[in-house]
Amino acid sequence: MISFLKNKHIILGVTGGIAAYKSPDLTRRLIEAGAIVRVVMTQHAKEFITPLTMQAVSGHPVHDELFDLQAEAAMGHIELARWADAIIVAPATADFMARLARGEANDLLTTLCLATCAPIAIAPAMNQAMWKNTLTQSNLEALLAKKFLIYGPASGLQACGDVGPGRMMEPADIIEQLNAIFNTGLLAGKNILITAGPTREAIDPVRYITNASSGKMGYALADAAIEAGAHVTLISGPVNIAKPLRATCIDVVSAEEMLAAVLEKITHCDIFFSVAAVADYRLKHIFSEKMAKKAEEITLELVRNPDIVATVANLPNRPWTVGFAAETDNVLQKAKNKLINKKLDMIIANQVGNNLGFDSDMNTVTVLWEDQQKSFPLMPKQKLARELIQLTSRLSERKIVC
Ligand code: CTP
Protein backbone atom coordinates (compact mmCIF):
# COMPACT_ATOMS: atom_id res chain seq x y z
CA MET A 1 0.00 0.00 0.00
CA ILE A 2 1.37 3.46 -0.96
CA SER A 3 1.63 5.64 2.15
CA PHE A 4 -0.01 9.01 1.74
CA LEU A 5 0.66 9.60 5.43
CA LYS A 6 4.29 10.58 4.85
CA ASN A 7 5.05 13.85 6.70
CA LYS A 8 1.38 14.28 7.61
CA HIS A 9 0.69 15.94 10.96
CA ILE A 10 -1.69 13.65 12.80
CA ILE A 11 -3.27 14.35 16.19
CA LEU A 12 -4.17 11.11 17.90
CA GLY A 13 -6.86 11.74 20.54
CA VAL A 14 -7.14 9.07 23.20
CA THR A 15 -10.24 8.94 25.42
CA GLY A 16 -10.97 6.79 28.47
CA GLY A 17 -11.84 3.27 27.34
CA ILE A 18 -10.21 -0.13 27.70
CA ALA A 19 -9.34 -0.06 23.96
CA ALA A 20 -6.78 2.67 24.83
CA TYR A 21 -4.33 -0.22 25.15
CA LYS A 22 -4.31 -0.26 21.30
CA SER A 23 -3.33 3.44 21.04
CA PRO A 24 0.45 2.89 21.34
CA ASP A 25 0.26 0.33 18.52
CA LEU A 26 -1.73 2.79 16.39
CA THR A 27 0.88 5.50 17.11
CA ARG A 28 3.73 3.18 16.13
CA ARG A 29 2.00 2.25 12.86
CA LEU A 30 1.30 5.90 12.04
CA ILE A 31 4.97 6.73 12.53
CA GLU A 32 6.01 3.72 10.44
CA ALA A 33 3.75 5.09 7.68
CA GLY A 34 5.73 8.36 7.83
CA ALA A 35 3.31 10.50 9.88
CA ILE A 36 4.32 12.95 12.61
CA VAL A 37 2.10 12.23 15.59
CA ARG A 38 1.05 14.41 18.53
CA VAL A 39 -1.00 12.65 21.19
CA VAL A 40 -3.81 14.37 23.08
CA MET A 41 -5.25 12.47 26.07
CA THR A 42 -8.38 13.12 28.07
CA GLN A 43 -8.12 12.86 31.88
CA HIS A 44 -9.98 9.50 31.81
CA ALA A 45 -7.67 8.10 29.14
CA LYS A 46 -4.85 8.33 31.69
CA GLU A 47 -6.70 5.76 33.87
CA PHE A 48 -6.09 3.22 31.12
CA ILE A 49 -2.69 4.13 29.68
CA THR A 50 0.09 6.41 30.88
CA PRO A 51 1.13 9.64 29.13
CA LEU A 52 4.72 8.38 29.48
CA THR A 53 3.95 5.41 27.22
CA MET A 54 2.33 7.65 24.61
CA GLN A 55 5.21 10.12 24.84
CA ALA A 56 7.73 7.32 24.34
CA VAL A 57 6.01 5.90 21.25
CA SER A 58 5.12 9.23 19.63
CA GLY A 59 8.44 10.89 20.43
CA HIS A 60 6.68 14.06 21.66
CA PRO A 61 5.27 15.20 25.01
CA VAL A 62 1.59 14.37 25.41
CA HIS A 63 -0.91 17.24 25.37
CA ASP A 64 -3.58 16.88 28.05
CA GLU A 65 -4.45 20.27 29.53
CA LEU A 66 -6.47 23.08 28.00
CA PHE A 67 -5.27 25.62 30.53
CA ASP A 68 -1.58 24.81 30.96
CA LEU A 69 0.72 27.81 30.69
CA GLN A 70 3.79 25.75 29.82
CA ALA A 71 2.01 23.71 27.13
CA GLU A 72 0.40 26.84 25.70
CA ALA A 73 3.81 28.49 25.50
CA ALA A 74 5.28 25.48 23.65
CA MET A 75 2.38 24.88 21.23
CA GLY A 76 -0.92 26.55 22.06
CA HIS A 77 -4.20 24.79 21.37
CA ILE A 78 -5.05 26.96 18.37
CA GLU A 79 -1.58 26.39 16.95
CA LEU A 80 -2.01 22.65 17.50
CA ALA A 81 -5.42 22.75 15.77
CA ARG A 82 -3.83 24.52 12.79
CA TRP A 83 -0.84 22.15 12.79
CA ALA A 84 -3.03 19.09 12.27
CA ASP A 85 -3.59 17.60 8.82
CA ALA A 86 -6.07 15.18 10.39
CA ILE A 87 -7.36 14.25 13.84
CA ILE A 88 -8.11 10.64 14.73
CA VAL A 89 -9.75 9.91 18.07
CA ALA A 90 -9.14 6.26 18.91
CA PRO A 91 -10.68 5.01 21.06
CA ALA A 92 -13.67 7.39 21.15
CA THR A 93 -15.99 6.69 24.08
CA ALA A 94 -19.77 7.21 24.14
CA ASP A 95 -19.18 10.21 26.39
CA PHE A 96 -16.71 11.75 23.93
CA MET A 97 -19.13 11.21 21.02
CA ALA A 98 -21.89 12.93 23.00
CA ARG A 99 -19.69 15.92 23.87
CA LEU A 100 -18.48 16.21 20.27
CA ALA A 101 -22.04 16.00 18.90
CA ARG A 102 -23.09 18.81 21.26
CA GLY A 103 -20.16 20.99 20.19
CA GLU A 104 -18.70 21.18 23.70
CA ALA A 105 -15.23 22.56 24.29
CA ASN A 106 -14.69 21.50 27.90
CA ASP A 107 -11.31 19.82 27.47
CA LEU A 108 -8.34 20.08 25.13
CA LEU A 109 -9.48 17.35 22.72
CA THR A 110 -13.02 18.67 22.13
CA THR A 111 -11.61 22.21 21.83
CA LEU A 112 -9.16 21.07 19.16
CA CYS A 113 -11.99 19.36 17.29
CA LEU A 114 -13.89 22.65 17.24
CA ALA A 115 -10.89 24.77 16.33
CA THR A 116 -9.40 22.70 13.50
CA CYS A 117 -10.17 22.84 9.78
CA ALA A 118 -8.62 19.38 9.33
CA PRO A 119 -10.75 16.28 8.80
CA ILE A 120 -11.72 14.52 12.05
CA ALA A 121 -12.16 10.76 12.28
CA ILE A 122 -13.33 8.86 15.33
CA ALA A 123 -13.04 5.15 16.10
CA PRO A 124 -15.80 4.43 18.64
CA ALA A 125 -15.17 1.78 21.31
CA MET A 126 -17.70 0.90 23.99
CA ASN A 127 -19.94 -1.82 25.36
CA GLN A 128 -22.35 -3.14 22.72
CA ALA A 129 -25.46 -2.01 24.66
CA MET A 130 -24.03 1.51 24.99
CA TRP A 131 -23.35 1.55 21.23
CA LYS A 132 -26.88 0.39 20.41
CA ASN A 133 -28.48 2.88 22.82
CA THR A 134 -30.66 5.33 20.92
CA LEU A 135 -28.86 8.28 22.51
CA THR A 136 -25.49 7.09 21.18
CA GLN A 137 -27.09 6.33 17.82
CA SER A 138 -28.56 9.82 17.57
CA ASN A 139 -25.14 11.29 18.48
CA LEU A 140 -23.68 9.12 15.73
CA GLU A 141 -26.22 10.47 13.23
CA ALA A 142 -25.44 14.04 14.26
CA LEU A 143 -21.71 13.44 13.79
CA LEU A 144 -22.20 11.78 10.39
CA ALA A 145 -24.39 14.70 9.29
CA LYS A 146 -21.57 17.09 10.24
CA LYS A 147 -19.08 15.13 8.06
CA PHE A 148 -17.14 13.52 10.89
CA LEU A 149 -15.58 10.27 9.67
CA ILE A 150 -16.63 7.27 11.71
CA TYR A 151 -14.31 4.25 11.63
CA GLY A 152 -16.04 1.10 12.86
CA PRO A 153 -16.82 -0.10 15.42
CA ALA A 154 -16.08 -3.77 14.77
CA SER A 155 -18.21 -6.57 16.20
CA GLY A 156 -17.07 -9.44 18.39
CA LEU A 157 -16.21 -10.48 21.92
CA GLN A 158 -15.84 -7.46 24.20
CA ALA A 159 -13.61 -6.88 27.24
CA CYS A 160 -16.71 -7.02 29.47
CA GLY A 161 -17.68 -10.48 28.12
CA ASP A 162 -20.55 -9.26 25.88
CA VAL A 163 -20.59 -10.05 22.19
CA GLY A 164 -21.68 -7.42 19.63
CA PRO A 165 -20.72 -4.12 17.97
CA GLY A 166 -18.48 -1.77 19.94
CA ARG A 167 -14.92 -3.05 19.53
CA MET A 168 -12.44 -0.42 18.34
CA MET A 169 -11.40 -0.87 14.71
CA GLU A 170 -7.97 -2.53 14.48
CA PRO A 171 -5.02 -0.08 14.13
CA ALA A 172 -4.02 -1.51 10.71
CA ASP A 173 -7.54 -0.82 9.37
CA ILE A 174 -7.54 2.70 10.87
CA ILE A 175 -4.26 3.40 9.06
CA GLU A 176 -5.80 2.24 5.78
CA GLN A 177 -8.80 4.56 6.26
CA LEU A 178 -6.61 7.54 7.22
CA ASN A 179 -4.43 6.90 4.19
CA ALA A 180 -7.52 7.21 1.99
CA ILE A 181 -8.21 10.75 3.33
CA PHE A 182 -5.03 11.98 1.66
CA ASN A 183 -5.34 9.90 -1.51
CA THR A 184 -7.65 12.38 -3.21
CA GLY A 185 -7.17 11.46 -6.87
CA LEU A 186 -7.99 15.10 -7.73
CA LEU A 187 -5.33 15.25 -10.44
CA ALA A 188 -5.42 11.58 -11.42
CA GLY A 189 -3.55 11.02 -14.68
CA LYS A 190 -2.65 14.70 -15.18
CA ASN A 191 0.88 15.76 -16.15
CA ILE A 192 2.18 18.48 -13.87
CA LEU A 193 5.42 20.38 -14.38
CA ILE A 194 6.88 22.31 -11.44
CA THR A 195 9.95 24.53 -11.18
CA ALA A 196 11.37 25.05 -7.71
CA GLY A 197 14.23 26.60 -5.76
CA PRO A 198 16.55 29.41 -6.79
CA THR A 199 18.66 29.63 -9.92
CA ARG A 200 22.36 30.30 -9.66
CA GLU A 201 24.09 32.60 -12.12
CA ALA A 202 27.85 32.13 -12.31
CA ILE A 203 30.26 35.06 -11.92
CA ASP A 204 33.42 32.96 -12.17
CA PRO A 205 34.15 29.25 -11.52
CA VAL A 206 33.63 29.67 -7.74
CA ARG A 207 31.23 32.60 -7.33
CA TYR A 208 27.63 33.16 -8.28
CA ILE A 209 24.53 35.32 -7.88
CA THR A 210 21.51 33.64 -6.29
CA ASN A 211 18.67 34.25 -3.82
CA ALA A 212 17.30 32.85 -0.55
CA SER A 213 14.66 30.49 -2.00
CA SER A 214 14.79 27.14 -0.17
CA GLY A 215 12.63 25.24 -2.67
CA LYS A 216 10.32 24.06 0.14
CA MET A 217 7.10 25.39 -1.44
CA GLY A 218 7.81 23.87 -4.86
CA TYR A 219 8.75 20.51 -3.34
CA ALA A 220 5.63 20.55 -1.14
CA LEU A 221 3.51 21.21 -4.24
CA ALA A 222 5.22 18.31 -6.01
CA ASP A 223 4.36 16.01 -3.07
CA ALA A 224 0.76 17.24 -2.98
CA ALA A 225 0.34 16.80 -6.76
CA ILE A 226 1.74 13.25 -6.58
CA GLU A 227 -0.63 12.54 -3.72
CA ALA A 228 -3.51 13.80 -5.90
CA GLY A 229 -2.58 11.21 -8.54
CA ALA A 230 -0.61 13.39 -10.99
CA HIS A 231 2.53 12.47 -12.96
CA VAL A 232 4.95 15.10 -11.70
CA THR A 233 8.12 16.45 -13.28
CA LEU A 234 10.11 18.64 -10.91
CA ILE A 235 12.77 20.92 -12.37
CA SER A 236 14.82 22.23 -9.50
CA GLY A 237 17.57 24.74 -8.92
CA PRO A 238 20.20 23.94 -6.24
CA VAL A 239 18.45 23.12 -2.92
CA ASN A 240 19.06 20.94 0.13
CA ILE A 241 15.83 18.95 0.20
CA ALA A 242 15.27 15.25 -0.48
CA LYS A 243 13.70 14.58 -3.88
CA PRO A 244 10.07 13.39 -3.98
CA LEU A 245 10.19 9.64 -4.56
CA ARG A 246 7.57 9.38 -7.28
CA ALA A 247 8.49 12.41 -9.40
CA THR A 248 10.74 12.73 -12.44
CA CYS A 249 13.40 15.09 -11.12
CA ILE A 250 15.69 17.25 -13.23
CA ASP A 251 18.44 19.34 -11.62
CA VAL A 252 19.44 22.62 -13.20
CA VAL A 253 21.62 25.50 -12.09
CA SER A 254 20.98 28.64 -14.15
CA ALA A 255 17.81 30.29 -15.48
CA GLU A 256 18.76 29.44 -19.05
CA GLU A 257 19.17 25.77 -18.13
CA MET A 258 15.83 25.87 -16.33
CA LEU A 259 14.10 27.35 -19.39
CA ALA A 260 15.63 24.70 -21.68
CA ALA A 261 14.48 21.90 -19.33
CA VAL A 262 10.98 23.38 -19.08
CA LEU A 263 10.60 23.72 -22.85
CA GLU A 264 11.74 20.11 -23.30
CA LYS A 265 9.10 18.82 -20.88
CA ILE A 266 6.20 21.20 -21.55
CA THR A 267 4.64 19.41 -24.54
CA HIS A 268 2.32 17.00 -22.71
CA CYS A 269 1.93 19.12 -19.61
CA ASP A 270 -1.58 19.92 -18.30
CA ILE A 271 -0.60 22.30 -15.51
CA PHE A 272 2.62 24.29 -15.05
CA PHE A 273 3.55 25.67 -11.62
CA SER A 274 6.38 28.20 -11.84
CA VAL A 275 7.47 28.24 -8.21
CA ALA A 276 11.18 28.82 -8.84
CA ALA A 277 12.72 32.10 -7.76
CA VAL A 278 14.45 32.66 -11.08
CA ALA A 279 17.34 35.12 -10.99
CA ASP A 280 16.33 38.13 -13.04
CA TYR A 281 19.83 38.80 -14.36
CA ARG A 282 22.95 36.86 -15.34
CA LEU A 283 26.46 38.00 -16.13
CA LYS A 284 27.00 39.20 -19.67
CA HIS A 285 30.43 37.52 -19.66
CA ILE A 286 31.24 34.85 -17.07
CA PHE A 287 34.87 35.04 -15.97
CA SER A 288 36.61 31.82 -17.03
CA GLU A 289 39.09 32.02 -14.14
CA LYS A 290 38.64 33.00 -10.51
CA MET A 291 38.60 36.79 -10.24
CA ALA A 292 41.47 38.11 -8.20
CA LYS A 293 40.93 40.96 -5.74
CA LYS A 294 42.64 44.01 -7.24
CA ALA A 295 40.50 47.10 -7.65
CA GLU A 296 38.67 48.87 -4.78
CA GLU A 297 35.47 48.85 -6.81
CA ILE A 298 34.30 46.63 -9.61
CA THR A 299 31.23 46.66 -11.85
CA LEU A 300 29.59 43.49 -13.10
CA GLU A 301 27.70 43.79 -16.35
CA LEU A 302 24.37 41.95 -16.13
CA VAL A 303 21.81 41.04 -18.77
CA ARG A 304 18.15 40.05 -18.31
CA ASN A 305 17.32 36.39 -18.00
CA PRO A 306 14.44 34.94 -20.00
CA ASP A 307 11.08 34.97 -18.22
CA ILE A 308 10.26 31.26 -18.03
CA VAL A 309 6.63 31.44 -16.96
CA ALA A 310 5.82 34.16 -19.50
CA THR A 311 7.49 32.10 -22.22
CA VAL A 312 5.29 29.12 -21.31
CA ALA A 313 2.15 31.27 -21.11
CA ASN A 314 2.80 32.47 -24.67
CA LEU A 315 3.16 28.98 -26.18
CA PRO A 316 0.42 28.03 -28.67
CA ASN A 317 -0.82 24.97 -26.74
CA ARG A 318 -0.03 26.32 -23.33
CA PRO A 319 -0.82 24.36 -20.18
CA TRP A 320 -2.88 25.89 -17.37
CA THR A 321 -0.18 28.20 -16.02
CA VAL A 322 0.38 29.21 -12.41
CA GLY A 323 2.91 31.75 -11.16
CA PHE A 324 4.08 32.84 -7.73
CA ALA A 325 4.73 36.38 -6.60
CA ALA A 326 6.93 36.86 -3.57
CA GLU A 327 6.82 40.52 -2.67
CA THR A 328 8.05 42.67 0.20
CA ASP A 329 5.43 45.39 -0.31
CA ASN A 330 2.18 46.19 -2.10
CA VAL A 331 1.78 42.43 -2.46
CA LEU A 332 -1.68 42.09 -4.02
CA GLN A 333 -1.33 44.89 -6.55
CA LYS A 334 2.07 43.64 -7.74
CA ALA A 335 0.75 40.08 -7.98
CA LYS A 336 -2.30 41.24 -9.95
CA ASN A 337 0.00 43.06 -12.39
CA LYS A 338 2.07 39.90 -12.85
CA LEU A 339 -1.09 37.81 -13.38
CA ILE A 340 -2.11 40.11 -16.23
CA ASN A 341 1.29 40.97 -17.74
CA LYS A 342 2.54 37.39 -17.77
CA LYS A 343 -0.88 36.09 -19.00
CA LEU A 344 -1.18 33.58 -16.15
CA ASP A 345 -4.27 31.60 -15.21
CA MET A 346 -3.56 31.96 -11.50
CA ILE A 347 -0.96 33.60 -9.26
CA ILE A 348 -0.08 32.81 -5.67
CA ALA A 349 1.03 35.90 -3.81
CA ASN A 350 2.93 36.04 -0.56
CA GLN A 351 4.78 38.52 1.55
CA VAL A 352 8.50 37.84 1.94
CA GLY A 353 11.02 39.27 4.38
CA ASN A 354 10.72 39.33 8.20
CA ASN A 355 11.07 35.50 8.36
CA LEU A 356 8.08 35.02 6.06
CA GLY A 357 7.98 32.99 2.87
CA PHE A 358 11.53 32.16 1.78
CA ASP A 359 13.22 29.40 3.76
CA SER A 360 10.37 29.20 6.26
CA ASP A 361 8.34 26.02 6.92
CA MET A 362 5.14 28.07 7.15
CA ASN A 363 3.48 30.30 4.62
CA THR A 364 0.36 32.42 4.19
CA VAL A 365 -0.76 33.35 0.68
CA THR A 366 -3.50 34.98 -1.36
CA VAL A 367 -4.39 33.33 -4.63
CA LEU A 368 -5.61 35.52 -7.50
CA TRP A 369 -7.30 34.43 -10.73
CA GLU A 370 -9.49 36.30 -13.22
CA ASP A 371 -11.07 38.97 -10.99
CA GLN A 372 -11.25 36.76 -7.93
CA GLN A 373 -9.07 35.99 -4.94
CA LYS A 374 -8.86 33.65 -1.95
CA SER A 375 -6.64 33.98 1.12
CA PHE A 376 -5.11 31.12 3.08
CA PRO A 377 -4.01 31.69 6.71
CA LEU A 378 -0.53 30.86 8.03
CA MET A 379 -0.02 27.10 7.85
CA PRO A 380 2.73 24.53 7.15
CA LYS A 381 3.83 24.57 3.50
CA GLN A 382 2.79 20.92 3.02
CA LYS A 383 -0.74 21.68 4.13
CA LEU A 384 -0.88 24.84 2.04
CA ALA A 385 0.31 22.85 -0.96
CA ARG A 386 -2.61 20.45 -0.59
CA GLU A 387 -5.05 23.39 -0.41
CA LEU A 388 -3.49 24.92 -3.53
CA ILE A 389 -3.75 21.61 -5.40
CA GLN A 390 -7.43 21.40 -4.46
CA LEU A 391 -8.10 24.90 -5.74
CA THR A 392 -6.03 24.31 -8.88
CA SER A 393 -7.85 21.10 -9.71
CA ARG A 394 -11.19 22.89 -9.39
CA LEU A 395 -10.23 25.98 -11.41
CA SER A 396 -8.26 24.21 -14.13
CA GLU A 397 -10.79 21.42 -14.66
CA ARG A 398 -12.85 23.11 -17.33
CA LYS A 399 -9.73 24.13 -19.26
CA ILE A 400 -7.74 20.90 -19.21
CA VAL A 401 -8.10 18.77 -22.33
CA CYS A 402 -7.56 15.18 -21.21
N1 CTP B 1 9.63 33.96 -13.24
C2 CTP B 1 10.11 33.24 -14.31
N3 CTP B 1 11.24 33.65 -14.93
C4 CTP B 1 11.89 34.75 -14.54
C5 CTP B 1 11.41 35.49 -13.43
C6 CTP B 1 10.27 35.07 -12.80
O7 CTP B 1 9.52 32.23 -14.68
N8 CTP B 1 12.98 35.12 -15.15
C9 CTP B 1 8.37 33.52 -12.61
C10 CTP B 1 8.51 33.02 -11.20
O11 CTP B 1 8.75 31.63 -11.16
C12 CTP B 1 7.15 33.37 -10.60
C13 CTP B 1 6.73 34.62 -11.37
O14 CTP B 1 7.51 34.63 -12.54
O15 CTP B 1 6.20 32.38 -10.87
C16 CTP B 1 6.95 35.91 -10.62
O17 CTP B 1 8.29 35.98 -10.22
P18 CTP B 1 8.90 37.31 -9.58
O19 CTP B 1 10.36 37.10 -9.31
O20 CTP B 1 8.01 37.75 -8.48
O21 CTP B 1 8.67 38.32 -10.78
P22 CTP B 1 9.60 39.04 -11.78
O23 CTP B 1 9.01 38.87 -13.14
O24 CTP B 1 11.02 38.61 -11.61
O25 CTP B 1 9.39 40.55 -11.37
P26 CTP B 1 10.14 41.49 -10.28
O27 CTP B 1 11.48 40.84 -10.01
O28 CTP B 1 10.24 42.77 -10.97
O29 CTP B 1 9.25 41.53 -9.09
Angle between helices 94-101 and 134-145 (to 10 degrees): 50
Residue 37 burial (10 A CB sphere; 0-12, 13-18, 19+): buried
Q: Is 401 within the bounds of a domain? A: no
Q: Is 402 within the bounds of a domain? A: no
Q: Is 126 within the bounds of a domain? A: yes
Same domain, 390 and 275: yes
CB of 9 within 6 A of ligand 1: the answer is: no
Q: Both ends of the chain: CA-CA distance in Å?
A: 27
pTM exceeding the 0.85 threshold for the entire prediction: no
Spatial distance between the Cα atoms of 58 and 38, rounded to a whole number of angstroms: 7
Positions marked active-site: 160
Same domain, 156 and 208: no
Domain total of the chain: 2
What is the predicted pLDDT for the residue at 36?
96
Same domain, 344 and 202: yes
3-class DSSP state of 145: helix
Same domain, 253 and 382: yes
Same domain, 237 and 302: yes
What is the predicted pLDDT for the residue at 355?
64
Q: Is 175 within the bounds of a domain? A: yes
Same domain, 157 and 301: no
Pairing of strands 346-351, 320-327: parallel
Q: Where are the beta strands (DSSP E) in 105-153?
A: 120-124, 149-150
Q: What is the CATH number for 323? A: 3.40.50.10300
What is the predicted pLDDT for the residue at 7?
86
Same domain, 275 and 353: yes
**379 Cα to the center of ligand 1, angstroms:** 24
What is the predicted pLDDT for the residue at 1?
66
Same domain, 205 and 124: no
Spatial distance between the Cα atoms of 178 and 34, rounded to a whole number of angstroms: 12
Q: What is the pLDDT along the chain (402 residues), one digit of tens a residue?
A: 678 898 899 999 999 999 999 999 999 999 999 999 999 999 999 999 999 999 999 999 999 988 877 777 777 888 899 899 999 999 999 999 999 999 999 999 999 999 998 999 999 999 999 999 999 999 999 999 998 999 999 999 888 888 899 999 999 999 999 999 998 899 999 999 999 999 999 999 999 999 999 999 999 999 999 999 999 999 999 999 999 988 999 999 999 999 999 999 999 999 999 999 999 999 999 999 999 999 999 999 999 999 999 999 999 999 999 999 999 999 999 999 999 999 999 999 998 876 665 667 888 999 999 999 999 988 888 889 999 999 999 999 865 433
Q: Which of 271, 280, 305, 329 for a ligand 1 pocket mutation test, highest count of atoms within 8 Å of Cβ?
A: 280
Q: What is the CATH number for 163? A: 3.40.50.1950
Q: Which of 303, 309, 367 for a ligand 1 pocket mutation test, highest count of atoms within 8 Å of Cβ?
A: 309
Query: Structural domain of residue 154, as residue ranges?
Result: 9-182
What amino acid is encoded at 316 in this protein?
Answer: P
Spatial distance between the Cα atoms of 181 and 331, rounded to a whole number of angstroms: 34
Same domain, 260 and 352: yes
Domain boundary among 152, 182, 212: 182
303 forms bridges with which residues in the sheet? Answer: 282
3-class DSSP state of 193: strand
Same domain, 164 and 205: no
> Do residues 194 and 230 lie in contact, with contact meaning Cβ atoms separated by under 8 Å?
no
Q: Is 4 within the bounds of a domain? A: no
Same domain, 124 and 178: yes
What is the predicted pLDDT for the residue at 51?
97
Same domain, 201 and 268: yes
Q: Is 33 within the bounds of a domain? A: yes
Measured from the Cα of 326, ligand 1's closest atom is 20
From atom 17 of ligand 1, which residue's Cα is the shortest distance away? 325
